[in-house]
Every structure is written in structure tokens, then in C-alpha cells.
Chains A and B, each alone.
Chain A
């Protein structure tokens, strides 16, 4: 069953600016690890950000578990965002806060303003955070400040923060582009394990085609805001890749 259905999605950053997404449609199913590949500037990041409306799409529909995301009001949008975890290229942790507080920030959507002010998260959130930190392999770093960690460790915090939301969909925006090849593979493997353990479908925008082929079961290829390929990983081949990346040579 399709968890996420995107139809004819269009986006531009300013009224007169160029259209970044030119009518993209695809479907993500319950157990998909979905890759979005394509050259720089193809609109991959924009596409992922349109799903939780960090970028406002200009036209099109996004259906998520029966809700039409593009029609939601501000408050409804916040409630929806609680169900969509996101992992970023630059980790986007709050550097001056502890690892624990960063992971707990995944619960902000469920936390009142007063509790937020005093960072007084419920006991079960803290227990859950400890469990997740242990699961992603950095239980010993709980009290460190986020900027004391290495890149790979920071991304593990990012993964724990996203899972803290109990998400029903994970958006991954180039999760490994700031990491070296070995750590990249470790992080992808970890995300994949966690995704199947928590039964969360993933939509992963990824630059590295080899990682996409290795870890993802479906791929869409973007080129200049247009979908050039959509299908299971097995049907992807050298010719189609060359076509998707043709623009980059020019």
C-alpha cells in the first residue's frame, strides 16, 4: 500500500524564479527504501523538503496516510511533521546543546511550551532517548556537547533524533555527503537497519549512485526538475544513469 503519493508536484523559490520541480509524481510504499538520484541542482533537496513543507510547493498534491499535505493549515502541518522524521546532510544538530538534548528535541512536537522552556521532558522520553542512543551506538556520548563529536557520531545523533519522533516516514537529505566513504556505508547500513526495525519507509535523496544501488529498492532519477527514471533498483543500468547525469557534463 502506498504511504506517500506525490502527484504533479511543482515548486519554485520565487514568483519569477525558475521552476525547480516541473511536475513530479511517484509513490512510496510501506516497506520502501526509496532513492532520489540526479545531478547537483536537479531539485532533489527541494523535492524532499516539499514533503514536510520546509519548502512550499507551488502546485501538485502530496497524499500521506490519507492526508493532503499541501492543504494543511499551520497547526495541522505541525502535527503532521511529528510523523515525518528528517535526517540532514550537515546533521543540523544544535551544537551548543548536549547529545541528549538534541535527541530529545525530536519530541518537541509533543512537548508543551513550559516543558520546553525548562527542558523538562517526561521520563519515558528520556528513557526512549537513552535506548535509541544505545541502539545507534553512542550511548557513551550522552553528556557530550554535539560539537565535540565526529561527523559519523553526529549523524548517529541525527538518526536518533529522527527516530525519537516515532516517525511514519523518514526523509533523508543526502545523509552521507559530509562523511567519508567507509562511514557513509556504515551510516547507510544503520539507517536501513533502523528503518526495517521500526518499519518506517524512507525517502532518501542521495548523491552517491553506488550507495543508492546498494541500499535502496526503488530509484527515481531527477534531471533539471523532471523525472527521468522511476523503477526498482534492478531495472537501473549504466545507460539510464548516463542519461540522468548527462546534464552534469555540459
Chain B
């Protein structure tokens, strides 16, 4: 039998060598464990023991009774929740729509096979995507509340900006994966760039992109439900007010309402996505 040449040059592995290796492994592992334990203890000391207002918390009984204030539902609040719930829904819808519009240039720039001038436009597209995703929706909302004032509008802007990253990234990736054959054929007919995109690219990526948009819309319902915390309208704003007026049963009512519209969003998203794919 002729063995592959590399095998004869393999260093001899003996029983002692294996023990030696294991011993070294054990040493490394112990050091890592000790370090991890020390760091954990230090964190507990700094963030929990030293940083908690133990006097305000009081006894276990106090904690329980504080938490128990949330048990119970303020039924009278529900009629007042209908409008904010619809508003939350609308913020999600309009925010997603606006986000999709911003996505078109972002995905166009950020897909390396169709980006108009790669050295410049590709980094711009990718930067837009990263920027959008690395800033939290609450931060976007704070930014837009400061810019355009309270209400649903800053919420819509915040949702739009936060959505661009994911939708544009997934769309750009879908565009990068397309079959170039049809594009070649469309170009060969004398079509212009716009027509090539419309006939060669859009039909190929549309199902994927639609599915991503619906998915993002569903997430945006969750997001828009809490944007009111910072003044950007919807159910979050009611939540914030109930909390400030110490109406804890009202807070529970809002939480239930949020849960309700999220469930509706999930059901709608499930069925529309199924029909698209």
C-alpha cells in the first residue's frame, strides 16, 4: 500500500505526550475559570450590591405588594386605548413603507453587482445599513422627537430609519444572488438600465424582498408600541401616562392591548408571508 507522504512525517504521539497536553489544558482551563468567577463576583458587587437602593426596596413583603399593584385590569381604560392602538398600527405601517422607500437606493448602492460606482456608492449603501441597525429605535425616536416634536410623526421616522438596515441588507443580498442570465438577455434586447432592473432584477428578488418587508412590519408593530415612552405617540404614550399617574391597573391594560396588536400582526404576517412565498 502506498500511503500519502505526509503521514510518515507525523510526529510520534506517546502516552506521556498526551498526558502532558492534558495537563497543560487543565492549567489553562483553571486560569480561565478563576478569572471568570472573579469577574462575575466583581460585577455582582458593583452593579447589584453597591448600586441597589436596598432601603427603598424594603422587605420581601414590600416587594411582593409593590409588584401586586400591577395585578388587576383597568377595564374603563380600554375604550381610550382603541385610538392609540390604531395609531401604533399606523406608525408601524407608514414607518415600514417609508423605510422601504429609503431602502430602494440603499439596496441599489449596497449590492455589489449593481452598485453604480463601486468605490463610492457601495460603502455609502453599506454604511446606511449598518447605521440604521446599530442605533436603537428608542434612540432614533429621541432624535426625531427632538427634531420634529412630539406625536406620531417622529415615531414614523424612527421606525423607517430603524427598518432600512434589515430590509436593505436582505434585499441587497437577494440582488447579489440573482441569476445573471435573464439580465444578459434583457440587455441584449437594447433595454436601458431602468428596464434591466425592472425586468431582470425585480421579478427575481420580489418574493424574497416582500417576505422580508412583511417580517419587518411585524417587528415594527412591537417597536412602535414602545416608542411612546419617549413621546413618539401610540400605545407607549398611554403606558407612560398611566405609569406617571400611578394607575398600575391601567399599565396592565396597556400591556394587554400591546400584546393584542402584536398577536394580530403576527397572524397577518404569517398568512401574507405564506401567500407571497
Any chain B CB within 8 A of the CB of A86?
yes
Known pairs A96-B206, A111-B195, A113-B195; A161 contacts B190 (CB<8 A): no
**Min C-beta distance of B188 to chain A, whole Å:** 4
Inter-chain contact A105/B186, CB cutoff 8 Å: yes
Any chain A CB within 8 A of the CB of B143?
no
Chain B residue contacts of A231, Cβ below 8 A: none
Known pairs A94-B200, A94-B203; A113 contacts B182 (CB<8 A): no
Inter-chain contact B181/A106, CB cutoff 8 Å: no
| Nearest-neighbor residue (CB-CB) of B206 within chain A | A96
Any chain B CB within 8 A of the CB of A116?
yes
Any chain B CB within 8 A of the CB of A44?
no
Inter-chain contact A92/B182, CB cutoff 8 Å: yes
**Min C-beta distance of A237 to chain B, whole Å:** 34
Q: Given A52, A84, A91, A108, which contacts B186 in the complex, CB threshold below 8 Å? A: A108
Chain A residue contacts of B207, Cβ below 8 A: 96
Inter-chain contact A96/B186, CB cutoff 8 Å: no
- Interface 1/0 per residue, A81-92 and B, CB below 8 Å: 110111010111
Chain B residue contacts of A81, Cβ below 8 A: 187-190
| Nearest-neighbor residue (CB-CB) of B197 within chain A | A116
What CA separation (Å) do A92 and B184 show in the bound complex? Answer: 8
Inter-chain contact A82/B187, CB cutoff 8 Å: no
Any chain B CB within 8 A of the CB of A222?
no
Q: Given B181, B182, B199, which contacts A116 in the complex, CB threshold below 8 Å? A: B199
B residues 183-230 in Cβ contact with A at 8 Å = 184-192, 194-195, 198-200, 203-204, 206-207
* Main SS class of interface, B: helix
Any chain B CB within 8 A of the CB of A209?
no
Inter-chain contact B185/A92, CB cutoff 8 Å: yes
* Main SS class of interface, A: mixed
Looking at chain A, what size class is its interface with the partner chain? 20 to 34
Q: How many residue pairs at the A-B interface have CB separations less than 8 Å?
A: 79
Q: Given B186, B190, B195, B200, which contacts A82 in the complex, CB threshold below 8 Å? A: B190
What CA separation (Å) do A116 and B203 show in the bound complex? Answer: 13
| Nearest-neighbor residue (CB-CB) of B205 within chain A | A96
What CA separation (Å) do A247 and B207 show in the bound complex? Answer: 45
Inter-chain contact B190/A94, CB cutoff 8 Å: no
What CA separation (Å) do A85 and B187 show in the bound complex? Answer: 11
Inter-chain contact B188/A84, CB cutoff 8 Å: yes
Q: Given B182, B189, B203, B206, which contacts A109 in the complex, CB threshold below 8 Å? A: B189
- Interface 1/0 per residue, B61-92 and A, CB below 8 Å: 00000000000000000000000000000000
Among B190, B200, B204, which residue has the most Cβ atoms of chain A within 10 A? Answer: B190
**Min C-beta distance of A78 to chain B, whole Å:** 5
| Nearest-neighbor residue (CB-CB) of A84 within chain B | B188
Chain A residue contacts of B194, Cβ below 8 A: 113, 116
**Min C-beta distance of A105 to chain B, whole Å:** 5
Inter-chain contact B195/A86, CB cutoff 8 Å: no
Any chain B CB within 8 A of the CB of A54?
yes
What CA separation (Å) do A92 and B179 show in the bound complex? Answer: 9
Q: Given B182, B189, B204, which contacts A108 in the complex, CB threshold below 8 Å? A: B189
What CA separation (Å) do A54 and B184 show in the bound complex? Answer: 7
* Nearest 6 Cβ contacts at the A-B interface: A109-B190, A81-B190, A92-B185, A82-B190, A108-B191, A92-B181
Residues of B within 8 A of A (CB): 181-182, 184-192, 194-195, 198-200, 203-204, 206-207
**What are 16 residue pairs bridging A and B, where the CB atoms are less than 8 Å apart in the complex?**
A54-B187, A78-B192, A79-B190, A82-B190, A92-B184, A93-B182, A94-B182, A97-B199, A105-B199, A107-B189, A108-B186, A108-B195, A109-B189, A113-B195, A116-B195, A161-B185
